[in-house]
Chain A
Amino acid sequence: MNVLKVSKLTIALFVLPCLLLYVCLVFVPIIVSLYTSTLEWNGIGESKFIGLDNFNKLLFHDAVFWPAVRHTLMFAVFSMLEIPIALFVAILLSRFVKKPNFLVSSYFMPVILSVVIIGQLWKTIYNPASMGGMLNQVLDWVGLGSWSQQWLTDPDIAMYSLYFVALWQYLGYHTLIQFTGIQNIPSDIYEAAKIDGAEGLKADWHITLPMNVPIFKISIVLAFIGSLQSFDMIMVMTGGGPGNATDVIATHMYRMSILSMKYGYGSAIAAILVVVCLVATVVINYGFNRLERKYT
């Protein structure tokens, strides 16, 4: 801090606007929704304080909530499993492709597109063949007609179809992050390893992976938190249906607070989501800190 040669007061002054904004837009609403989660309130009229009843109902008597939690956590697991693949793609790119930037940017394309567009696009791809669905038609052409499915409307499959779209969209994003991380590993380390006889994938195993751990962590945290919040894509493609087959925590919260007009109950779901977010972030950080200490 002393290196900066500015007084602490100045620092505080410059941090203040952002801090205020952050407190107003994030902290205060969290506190307010913690309070409303103890109310029975339709968002318009009188509210009634009911203590922890909403949580009791939510955790023990809500047939939709736990499946929604399961869908959300599965979502998180799948998106985290994607990161090693992204890392692998990044390694291949940096090792075997002459001018990798073009490829990296093309993989990144879906991230720039609006989720609504992606949702509509994949809805059309997933449509039944009779409604012009591309995927089923392709399966038909190559003689795998028996594999064709009601991708978005079969309750057993719909959720996986949604996971896949999210994975497809974000592969490029994580590849970019990992790729950048790999580019930043100094080349003299590889050269030294080459003299010692470690080349190719062996060098990757002993150098790239350990040195890339901090970047790996960023991707994991982003993937995890991103999937906890997944909402827009699901609303566009299935709206949580058929039935509740593709409801996640966020869509359940929306349905409860906006459509069912149970604001207090919705806030309780939001509160749980906050807790899950916090706990997960702490756990992931702790795990990676140990890894980092081991390798760096």
Chain B
Amino acid sequence: MAKMNMKSVLGLVLAGSLAISLTACGSKNNNEGNANAEASNNAGATNAATEKPASNEKVTITFQNIYPDPTDPKNQMMAKIVKQYETDHPNVKIELDSLNTDQQKQKLKTQAASKEVPDITVVNPAAQMQPYVDAKLFAPLNDMVEQNGLKDTFQDGVLDFYTFDNNLYALPDGNNIGVVYYNKDLFQQAGITKTPETFEEMIEDVKTLKAKGIQPMAIGEKDTWTGSFLFMNILLRTNGGPGFLSDVVAGKKTFEDPAFVEAVDAMQNLIQAGAFQEGVTSFDYNAGENIFKTGKAAMYYMGSWATGGIETSEALKDKVGVFKFPTVNGKGDPNQFMLAPGSAFAISADSKHLQETKDFLNYFMLNFPKEAFAVKGAVGIAQKVDGDFKAAGYSDMAISVLDLFKEVKGGDLSFDNTMNPGTSQGHLTSIQNIFVQKKDSAEVAKEHQSAFESNK
């Protein structure tokens, strides 16, 4: 009996293994085939949704967005604005396609490959949206942004990151800066009375904290952009101001420039001083942030979008402050920040109802700041907000972040928003490497230069 059982098990295993070995070599190559198939499916769906305007001027607009979570205030806010618009315009139906960030990126890539972009979609700024703009997938919004004074609601300069050849292609929902969060209690325990104003002080603080057995900083370097974001802020200082990467692109500088090598040196000093938790490259973004959020690390460098999550963390109630990233070797201006203009809404150039879609997005963005303020989501949005944050119940930390925003005097974008994807990958792995082993800084600079040249 036992034997019979084993026989049938073997049968199953064999059948399974046959299936596996048949598909073995092929499965990794299916990407494109599947992608195309999926894209055309999606295409079918969007066509079905948009191809019915003939009678009665009924219009359906597909609105792809990244607010899928019904408990997220942004989702509720979006639903509210959409509903209001549909009530005011009975002939317009807004079809929501709500996806989480990664899904949306994937879906848009497949849709773009077959040139079937939804009426409204979401893209990232500058270099990351460049391929889509080059493929002429988006409609210019120059005329639309002038209507109803929409342009003036945006903060100065933020729209530049979505403008190519004087054409504006997308409207951002967020605009953040890189700041250092710190745990006041842990600073006090270590006897540190004031926040560091120079990078050298910061390294001293790291050593003091370390000596007291307190984890000085946390980071989630398995997601390589986190370390890159911090590194770029150091570079912003050693370069004496913004624009290093654009100078490299323009051919005015190379990565072997002293400012870059100095930044790598400073970064390595921080790492070698033992600033980050052990095993840092196996912590992803969330795991890294959690170390800080559970009160186990003293400092955390991140974009101001982290404010909400840190604010609501139980372990940190009223214990967290923020400070500007300090000067490095006396260079740089602390009022220049790493800028992180957020994801943005773009309109498909092939939209069947271009005018209606533009009208809707105009309405949506006009109402965005007011509604975001109401649901306490107005820290780090790209538009100006009228209203008393304190009275509306925003926390002290949120307000000090908002105060930092007022002092921003320009800055740099993250590496992958400035450079093409190939060079960015080279940079990200190169920086991740110095988290685990000390390297010659000139060598790191050389790696960058060769990654840049082979991806021109």
Contacts and interface: CB of A to CB of B under 8 A. Distances in A.
Contacts of B24: 225-226, 228-229, 277
A267 interface: yes
B425 interface: yes
A243 interface: yes
Nearest to A270: B29
Interface stretch (B40-48, B63-71, B276-284, B331-339): B276-284
Interface string A166-201: 000000000011011101100000000000000000
B54 interface: no
B30 A25 contact: yes
Contacts of A126: 279, 282
Nearest to B8: A180
Contacts of A33: 29, 31-32
A153 B13 contact: no
Given A32-B33, A36-B32, A42 B17 contact: no
Given A242-B435, A260-B425, A42 B131 contact: yes
Interface stretch (B86-94, B194-202, B236-244, B426-434): B426-434
A180 B9 CA distance: 8
Contact of A32 (B6, B32, B131, B134): B32
Nearest to B25: A277
B422 interface: yes
A181 B3 CA distance: 11
B317 interface: no
Contacts of A283: none
B26 interface: yes
A26 interface: yes
B27 A229 contact: yes
A241 B228 CA distance: 14
B281 A242 contact: yes
A262 B25 contact: no
B2 interface: yes
A212 to B, nearest CB: 12
Nearest to B5: A101
Main secondary structure of the interface of B (DSSP, over half): helix
B254 to A, nearest CB: 19
A83 interface: no
Nearest to B215: A130
Given A29-B26, A45-B134, A222-B20, A150 B33 contact: no
B6 A180 contact: yes
Interface in A198-214: none
Interface string A258-278: 011111000100110110011
A270 B33 CA distance: 13
A250 B23 CA distance: 15
A243 B29 contact: no
B55 interface: no
Contacts of B13: 176-177, 180
Interface string A234-257: 000111111110000010010111
Contacts of B437: 155, 242
A30 B26 contact: yes
Nearest to B423: A260
A26 B30 contact: yes
B22 A26 contact: yes
A123 B282 contact: yes
Contacts of A45: 131, 134-135
Interface residues of A, number: 72
A73 interface: no
A228 to B, nearest CB: 8
B281 A29 contact: no
Contacts of B432: 241-243
A80 B436 CA distance: 31
Contact of B112 (A44, A61, A243): A44
Contacts of A44: 109, 112-113, 131-132, 135, 137
Given A29-B30, A155-B436, A180-B6, A274 B279 contact: no
Nearest to A33: B29
Interface string A87-131: 000000000000001000000000000000000000100111011
A79 to B, nearest CB: 14
A33 B280 CA distance: 37
Identify which of B20, B277, B282, B424 gathers the most chain A CB atoms within 10 Å of its CB.
B282
A43 B106 CA distance: 11
Contact of B224 (A27, A177, A241): A241
B222 interface: yes
A194 B281 CA distance: 58
B33 A153 contact: no
Given A61-B454, A278-B25, 6 more contacts: A25-B33, A26-B30, A46-B135, A127-B279, A270-B31, A274-B29
Interface of A: 22, 24-30, 32-33, 36, 42-46, 57, 61, 101, 123, 126-128, 130-131, 133, 150, 152-155, 176-177, 179-181, 183-184, 218, 221-222, 225-226, 228-229, 231, 237-244, 250, 253, 255-257, 259-263, 267, 270-271, 273-274, 277-278, 281
3 closest A-B pairs (Cβ-Cβ)? Answer: A243-B433, A128-B278, A29-B33
28 contacts: A25-B26, A26-B26, A43-B113, A44-B109, A45-B135, A46-B135, A61-B454, A127-B278, A130-B277, A131-B279, A150-B278, A152-B282, A153-B278, A153-B435, A176-B13, A183-B2, A184-B3, A218-B14, A218-B17, A229-B27, A231-B28, A239-B224, A241-B222, A241-B429, A241-B432, A242-B437, A259-B421, A271-B29
